[in-house]
Amino acid sequence: MRLVILEDYDQASEWAAKYICNRIIQFKPTQGRYFTLGLPTGNTPLGCYKKLIEYHKNGDLSFKYVKTFNMDEYVGLPRNHPESYHSYMWNNFFKHIDIDPNNAHILDGNAPDLQVECDAFEKKIEEAGGIDLFVGGIGPDGHIAFNEPGSSLSSRTRLKTLAMDTILANAKYFDGDLSKVPTMALTVGVGTVMDAREVMILITGAHKAFALYKAIEEGVNHMWTVSAFQQHPRTIFVCDEDATLELRVKTVKYFKG
Amino acid sequence: MPSNKSVSDAPIARFTNCRILRGRRLQREDLWVREGKILNPEKLFFDEKGSADVQLDCKGCILAPGFIDVQINGGFGVDFSLATDDFGSGIDLVSQKILSHGVTSFCPTLVTSPPSVYHQVLPQISVRNGGPHGAGILAGAHLEGPFISKEKKGAHPEHCIRTFEENAFQDLLATYGSLDCVRIVTLAPEIKRSSEVIQELTKRGICVSLGHSVANLSQAEEAVQHGATFITHLFNAMLPFHHRDPGIVGLLTSDKIPAGRRVFYGMISDGIHTNPAALRIAHRAHPKGMVLVTDAIAGMGLAPGRHTLGQQVVEIDGLNTYIAGTKTLSGSVATMDTCVRHFLEATGCSVETALEAASLHPAQLLGIEDKKGTLNYDSDADFLMLDDSLHVQATYIAGEEVWRRDVLDM
């Protein structure tokens, strides 16, 4: 793996955005040959999205020939609810760029048959030729997407019940009222993300430090599902100084050197 | 989820690089319009997989809902209280000219007149949508009089003032001839049997406004309880505020307003009809009820001098208009955008508040805020492009540009 350590959140966001931007530009996507991007939600990638929007507005980056696949979506939340991941992606990304709406794929948490929806999503990824670059984050409990502790490391897109840690972390987006937080979500599996040709995990903040330690300095373990990427041929972890607080000095020095 | 493919082939316009008035505040958002209505772009993106056909750069302008003037007696030489042969073309002229003031809907107002005038004029007023031809008449006319107080007639002709003491509503109907295209009636609630009349008018969906009256606060409150919801040009042509009997002005803070109802009040904020301090008192006492009106007369838009207002002759000198030879104010020649700017400056309120007083509040008064007065999704796309000092740069009705400031205009 590569571990890229930047000084703070803003620099980490910018580094990640530049990397994505360069990847797309180098790929030279065109009609019939799209660049496929896997995308996350949450607080961590907001800075990265802002930068990508900036590059687009400067005329340096177009999403015309980019297909996106989001990692997850809540079950049972109306699509236009301000906390749904559809709303998040529209407000924080899609409305500011030139992506074709037909190429922006997000799981539908209100589909009549949720498993059919998940299977169809896997099929769409396959039809798009697989994911070129999957961008993800990490939960405080080391999960990737909603693959909570205990999720199979070969899992595919499916319905998941959310862990208490996740529900507590999300409560702040629902007026602090635990009863309002969705308890289930559709999520890509660990296996789904592992299939991507390249993976980039964004990790910032001291509260994620322990999860990062478990993910890269301990063994591959289904209780810390991000650890699965130790076995992926091309993974980059992008983090800020605070996120490295639980790592060994030796590890940090090695990757900084 | 099955895709809600209510796809339309109609072109979608996206107004970018602007600040829109939505959710009571100015937001950096784009405005999307299709088929004359404000479109929800998120729904468009996810449900229809649609995108904009045309993008228009608003160069940082403010986009606000079109202004609604519920009290305008005429302008540009046209007097709505004069029964002429070409009344229709008079209304057309005014409705076209006020587009440049940012008014996209209005209620043609008639001052106290003899029955013959109402009988001739009212059938010539019809509800109609706005467009390139001019602002819309969405709701109908505003009849200010003749059932008012002689003591507070202002510029209204005394010999035409009437009461409905004998046959209440029947007297009113006989005077006006028809209420088909009437949306607001101003009357003085101290006239005997006004309660019945107010109730009957309210039942017919007509907004009753209190004005040109010497009513005390209890009479005004009773009128509100029977259905009155508006006050015509607050402070003018009514008893002044008195601390032991605030009169009609007291409605702004009355505790006898029925639950769920709001009393709105018209204000001519031209800097002449109301001292800025009084404007501020009213605004601070009841900010959500403020409705800016022009009360513009035929002389609005014309050079200073003499013009008619119904049965009277008035004299214009700058922004002041008086009954010829007197110091009695009679209507105004201020334009709606001038009133909005003056209101902003005099009260120091936010830009959002000033804009809402001329758009959202009159729409709420008329009960049409689901379609007009806001930039909410699915509302009619009647809006204005304004610069930061609230000068109208362009006017749009149903998504179509109907007026634009000439770059050479100063």
Using 50, 70 and 90 to split pLDDT, how confident is the model at B17? Answer: very high
SS3 B91: helix
SS3 A92: helix
Average pLDDT estimate for A11-22: 98
Q: What is the pLDDT of residue B261?
A: 93
Average pLDDT estimate for B241-247: 94
H or E stretch including B277?
Answer: helix B276-285
Fold of domain A2-252: Rossmann fold (3.40.50)
pLDDT tens-digit map of B122-170: 999 999 999 999 999 988 999 998 999 999 998 899 999 999 988 999 9
Is residue B262 domain-shared with residue B343, that is, in the same domain?
yes
Average pLDDT estimate for A200-208: 96
- For residue B318, is pLDDT > 80? no
Is residue B217 domain-shared with residue B230, that is, in the same domain?
yes
The answer as to whether B70 is a domain residue is yes
Q: Report percent pLDDT > 90 for chain A.
A: 90
Is residue B172 domain-shared with residue B39, that is, in the same domain?
no
- For residue B211, is pLDDT > 50? yes
Cis peptide before A149 (omega within 30 of 0): no
Number of separate domains in chain B: 2
- For residue B2, is pLDDT > 60? no
- For residue B328, is pLDDT > 90? no
Q: Test A101 with B50 for CB contact under 8 angstroms.
A: yes
pLDDT tens-digit map of A211-234: 999 999 999 999 999 999 999 999
The crossing angle, in degrees rounded to 10, of helices A46-57 and A9-27 is: 50
Q: What is the pLDDT of residue B312?
A: 77
Q: What is the pLDDT of residue B7?
A: 64
What is the C-alpha to C-alpha distance for residues A110 and A131, in angstroms, rounded to an integer? 25
Q: What is the pLDDT of residue B410?
A: 47
User: Domain holding B70: CATH number?
Assistant: 3.20.20.140
Average pLDDT estimate for B251-255: 96
Is residue B198 domain-shared with residue B333, that is, in the same domain?
yes
- For residue B9, is pLDDT > 60? yes
Q: Which two tokens stand for residue A188?
A: 């890509």
Per the residue annotation, which of A73, A148, A195, A241 is the catalytic one? A148
The answer as to whether B352 is a domain residue is yes
Q: What is the pLDDT of residue B172?
A: 94
Using 50, 70 and 90 to split pLDDT, how confident is the model at B325? Answer: confident
Alpha helices in chain A (DSSP H): 9-27, 46-57, 85-92, 114-127, 164-170, 190-194, 209-217, 249-256
Q: What is the pLDDT of residue A82?
A: 92
Q: How far is CA B263 from CA B5, B125, B218, B294, B363, in A?
A: 42, 27, 15, 19, 13
Using 50, 70 and 90 to split pLDDT, how confident is the model at B6? Answer: low
Give, as one character, the DSSP assignment of residue B276: H
Is residue B381 domain-shared with residue B246, that is, in the same domain?
no
Using 50, 70 and 90 to split pLDDT, how confident is the model at B11? Answer: very high
Q: What is the pLDDT of residue A170?
A: 85
Q: Test B49 with A102 for CB contact under 8 angstroms.
A: yes
pLDDT tens-digit map of B224-242: 999 999 999 999 999 999 9
Task: Of A108-117, B223-232, B295-304, give the lowest mean pLDDT range.
Answer: B295-304
The reply to whether B150 touches chain A by the CB within 8 Å rule is no
The answer as to whether B250 is a domain residue is yes
The answer as to whether B2 is a domain residue is no
- Listed residue (B403, B406, B402, B379) closest to B20, CA to CA: B379
Is residue B96 domain-shared with residue B35, that is, in the same domain?
no
Q: Report percent pLDDT > 70 for chain B.
A: 97
Is residue A26 within 8 Å of A249, Cβ to Cβ? Answer: no
Is residue B338 domain-shared with residue B397, that is, in the same domain?
no
- For residue B174, is pLDDT > 90? yes
**Residues belonging to chain A:** 257
Q: CA A144 from chain center: how many Å?
A: 7
What is the C-alpha to C-alpha distance for residues B399 and B382, in angstroms, rounded to an integer? 6
Is residue B80 within 8 Å of B121, Cβ to Cβ? Answer: yes
Q: What is the pLDDT of residue B408?
A: 63
**Domain housing B263:** 66-366
Is residue B162 domain-shared with residue B197, that is, in the same domain?
yes
The answer as to whether B4 is a domain residue is no
- Give the minimum alpha-carbon distance from B44 to chain A in angstroms, rounded to a whole number: 9
The answer as to whether B7 is a domain residue is no
- For residue A2, is pLDDT > 80? yes
Q: What is the pLDDT of residue B5?
A: 40
pLDDT tens-digit map of B363-372: 999 999 999 9
The reply to whether B30 touches chain A by the CB within 8 Å rule is yes
The crossing angle, in degrees rounded to 10, of helices B276-285 and B336-347 is: 80
Is residue B345 domain-shared with residue B223, that is, in the same domain?
yes
Q: Test A95 with B50 for CB contact under 8 angstroms.
A: no
The reply to whether B59 touches chain A by the CB within 8 Å rule is no
Average pLDDT estimate for B70-89: 92
- Listed residue (A225, A170, A239, A217) closest to A193, CA to CA: A225
**Sign for the pseudo-dihedral over CA of A199, A205, A211, A216:** positive
Is residue B147 domain-shared with residue B257, that is, in the same domain?
yes
What is the C-alpha to C-alpha distance for residues A236 and A223, in angstroms, rounded to an integer? 21
Alpha-carbon dihedral of residues A92, A98, A100, A104, nearest 10 degrees?
-20
The answer as to whether B6 is a domain residue is no
Is residue B139 domain-shared with residue B267, that is, in the same domain?
yes
- Catalytic site includes residue A242: no
Say which residues have a Cβ less than 8 Å from residue A4's Cβ, sequence separation at least 6: A12, A15, A236, A237, A238, A239, A255
Q: Test B45 with A95 for CB contact under 8 angstroms.
A: yes
Residue B331 annotated as part of some ligand binding site:
yes
